[in-house]
Structure 1
Amino acid sequence: MPFSIRPVQEGDTAHLMALHASVGWPRRSEAGWRWLINHPARLEAGAPAGWLLIDANGTPRGHTGNFVQTFWRGDTILHGTSGYSILVEPAARGRSPMLLKPFAEQPGVFARYTFNANPKSSPLFQRYGLTAWPTTTHALKLAWRLDTLTCGAGRIWREIDSRAPQWVDPDHEWFLNRRLAHPGPLVLPADVRVLCDLADHSSFAAFWTALRGEGRLIADRSPATLRWRLSDPDQTIAPLLLAFHRGTEIRGYAMAMMAKANSIDPPVLEILDLMALRDEPRAIPALMQALLANARSLGAAKVRIQVVNETLLRQLGSLAASARREGGWGHCHVRFEPGIEGFETWAPTPFDGDYQVCLRPVPVASEARAAA
């Protein structure tokens, strides 16, 4: 059967919902897909929202998302893009390369990358010039177990699901707990505070200006970008934002969200971003310790960061040494446009990838959302 490729359009939300449901992946609502398709950076770059694999009957059988982000190198604006939700229905098995080709070869971006490849898809990216990167940390995820018993039970259920899936009810959510809907009060050190003000002339805006002024290649973390991220209509529990202060100045910040990979996995506090100014060595350890100290009261069984870089490993110090090493298959790949300067200063975190838009939110009831 012949297949063709076409760009995703805003009217494709029903197709996208059906495709994700067909393979059991986290589902977005129609409003959530519209929010993601109309990402401001994508509109600014004039890039496709993604591509659909179409069969001879005109039915979508596969999808690749195109999550475009604005990057800065000093005062120079660049665009990079992450491929996400790369899926093909069984009826179109073997057609994944057709979906990867337009993503990997699209013009107008300094880098095409994925920081969230699974073990099966990871080798496919090499066919289109995406190589393992960052050089020493492309296969590394860091995780801190807080509830060993619950994490162990989740592993047992995953084993049961792989051997006898008929024993696992996909509609029953395991490991939900009261703290998810009614989290305990945060206990924070004096120099770490909850970040609430994301106005264009806020202290966070001044932090972003200072961060951009360091000259490194960095994804846009302006107040406007964070406001857009926090407006995701499918989130069930708002992400947690913490800021490290020196006096009245913000010198570093962290963003984390509660996620649950599937019905049989425990809730995890996923770190989406961990960033500080170069001359503030205390910020990263203080923010990380605050996340670890409060994650259990938020309902998490463990804390994880799924993209790390060498700089972050050094900044975490003994905290990184105490973490479990997850991953191992090379989930980070990138293809740089020839002639791009300064790419070696890029120190990615999960913020640069698709984690925030692809992680499965913890399924809590509407009354629990209000309480949370």
Structure 2
Amino acid sequence: MSLNIRPFMPADAPVVDALHSAVDWPARSAEGWRWLAANPARPDDFPIGWLAEDEAGRAAFVGQFPQRFWIGAQPVLGVTGYSIIVPPDLRGAAGPLIRRIMNREDAALFYTLNANALSAPLYRRHGLEPYPQATHGLKLAWMIDPVAAGVAGVVRRLTPHLSGRPGPERLMNRRLGRSPALRLPPQVTPLDRFDEDWDLFWSRLRSEGRVLADRSAETLRWRLSEPDGTLPPIRLVYRRDGAVTGWLLAQMAKMSRLEPPLLDIIDLVALRDEPDAAAVLTSALIANAGRLGAAKVRLQVVSPDLLEALGPLVRRARREGGWGHAHARFDAQHAARLRAGWSPTPFDGDYSFCLRPVPKA
């Protein structure tokens, strides 16, 4: 089979959206594609995705998403793939698409934090290794509504042929979208805007010498302006003496039409001298999740550092995953610093803009 690999163009959006819809993934609007292209970290010569086409015009797709990472005071480019969709009649196209992403010589790291059980072995064949080594196969979930989760499990077992196919949404509830006032501990407040308090927090994070995906006010304003979401994200900060010392970002999502809504933690990070922030922020989210309409709270990327920061909360969580969803390849120049200092969260990957949103009421 002969394949033509070429950059995604705006005119390709209907083809790619049809690929998404065929597997019950969210199709992106025209505004959504323009939003991806406006990524402030995207180099001018950086396509937002690649298409593989055969002689009959059949297509496969993979997106590529750049982020600015900071190694101390040094910015470097990191690249993750997203939404790799290869129809059965183009089997074998995944490899050439992944190689096209990894051909860039100006990237310090290539990675995926969102591989599924079928695709995970593929990344190892392209030189990516499980990362973080101790937790690359771990996801944590805190159950809020066991009944809804149980019903979803029964439906999946009785109707496996419906999984991944379009159809009516199941297990919705009236609490979704009502935006009740959150009941928060005194150290935790909602974050309405990225102002001087945020700039100071971001500056203090960078001064600690860790490897961090860019969380500047410019990047976060862009990231949170994603036009295809249906419910606003939850933005919480932990404060000490009035200053921001920890941050949590969460988004309501629905894994499939057969699953109940859940709250996905997108980002969770705190200063090193603030050991309680991650656990307090997560506990606050869990305490409010039921009132927001979530059946569970989930953290899909977990580092050893974050496991330690969550403390006893880890014992309350269900351990999900297990197939190795996180893989990375580091360039030789920065490999030692990246291995020593990068503790990824879901924010570093594609979770925020590739989650399946809760359908509009």
What TM-score range do you get, normalising by the shorter chain?
over 0.9
Q: Partner residue of 1:342?
A: 337
Partner AA of 2:359 in structure 1: P
Q: Partner residue of 2:356?
A: 360
SS at match of 2:28: coil
Q: Partner residue of 1:368?
A: none
Q: Partner residue of 1:227?
A: 221
How far did 1:112 drift? 0.5
Alignment partners' CA distance in 1, 2:120 and 2:207: 35
8 Å Cα contact 1:104/1:335 also seen in 2? no
Alignment partners' CA distance in 1, 2:78 and 2:244: 27
Alignment partners' CA distance in 2, 1:24 and 1:192: 36
Deviations 1:248-293 (A, max 9, x none): 2000010000000111101010000000000011211110111111
How far did 1:73 drift? 1.4
SS at match of 2:279: helix
SS at match of 2:59: strand
Q: Does 1:179 align with 2:175?
A: yes
8 Å Cα contact 2:86/2:93 also seen in 1? yes
Alignment partners' CA distance in 2, 1:6 and 1:89: 17
How far did 1:48 drift? 2.5
SS at match of 1:13: helix
Deviations 1:96-151 (A, max 9, x none): 11111112332211111000000000001111101111010000000001110100
8 Å Cα contact 1:72/1:219 also seen in 2? yes
Q: Does 1:118 align with 2:113?
A: no
Alignment partners' CA distance in 2, 1:15 and 1:169: 18
Correspondence 1:169-318 to 2 at 5 A? 170-199=166-195, 202-318=196-312
How far did 1:169 drift? 8.2
Q: Partner residue of 2:47?
A: 48
Partner AA of 1:130 in structure 2: L
SS at match of 1:65: strand
SS at match of 1:190: coil
Moved more, 6-15 or 222-231: 6-15
SS at match of 1:235: coil
Q: Partner residue of 2:162?
A: 165
Q: Partner residue of 1:319?
A: 313
Indicate which of 131, 134, 150 corresponds to 1:133: 131
Alignment partners' CA distance in 2, 1:169 and 1:118: 17
Deviations 1:277-332 (A, max 9, x none): 00011211110111111111110000000000001000111001110000000000
Q: Partner residue of 2:8?
A: 8
Q: Partner residue of 1:37?
A: 37
SS at match of 2:226: coil
8 Å Cα contact 1:245/1:252 also seen in 2? yes
Alignment partners' CA distance in 2, 1:41 and 1:157: 42
How far did 1:211 drift? 0.5
Q: Partner residue of 2:22?
A: 22
Q: Percent identity?
A: 46
Alignment partners' CA distance in 2, 1:107 and 1:47: 12
Alignment partners' CA distance in 2, 1:95 and 1:203: 47
8 Å Cα contact 1:183/1:299 also seen in 2? no
Alignment partners' CA distance in 1, 2:34 and 2:237: 30
Partner AA of 1:69 in structure 2: Q
Alignment partners' CA distance in 2, 1:293 and 1:54: 48
Alignment partners' CA distance in 1, 2:167 and 2:214: 38
Alignment partners' CA distance in 1, 2:103 and 2:125: 12
Partner AA of 2:168 in structure 1: H
How far did 1:81 drift? 0.9
Give the paired residue count. Answer: 359
Give unpaired runs (5+ residues) of structure 2: none
Alignment partners' CA distance in 2, 1:37 and 1:160: 41
Alignment partners' CA distance in 1, 2:159 and 2:28: 24
Alignment partners' CA distance in 1, 2:23 and 2:360: 22
State TM-score, norm by structure 2. Answer: 0.96
Alignment partners' CA distance in 1, 2:249 and 2:321: 21
How far did 1:60 drift? 5.0
How far did 1:50 drift? 1.8
Alignment partners' CA distance in 1, 2:76 and 2:360: 38
Alignment partners' CA distance in 1, 2:188 and 2:48: 37
Partner AA of 2:308 in structure 1: R
Partner AA of 2:33 in structure 1: W
Q: Does 1:333 align with 2:338?
A: no
Q: Does 1:85 align with 2:80?
A: no
Correspondence 1:100-119 to 2 at 5 A? 100-119=98-117
Alignment partners' CA distance in 2, 1:144 and 1:303: 5
SS at match of 2:79: strand
SS at match of 2:41: helix
8 Å Cα contact 2:58/2:90 also seen in 1? no
Alignment partners' CA distance in 2, 1:61 and 1:160: 33
Alignment partners' CA distance in 2, 1:25 and 1:197: 30
Deviations 1:145-197 (A, max 9, x none): 111010011111122232x439x984211111111121332000111000012
Q: Partner residue of 2:140?
A: 142
Partner AA of 2:147 in structure 1: L
Give unpaired runs (5+ residues) of structure 1: 366-372
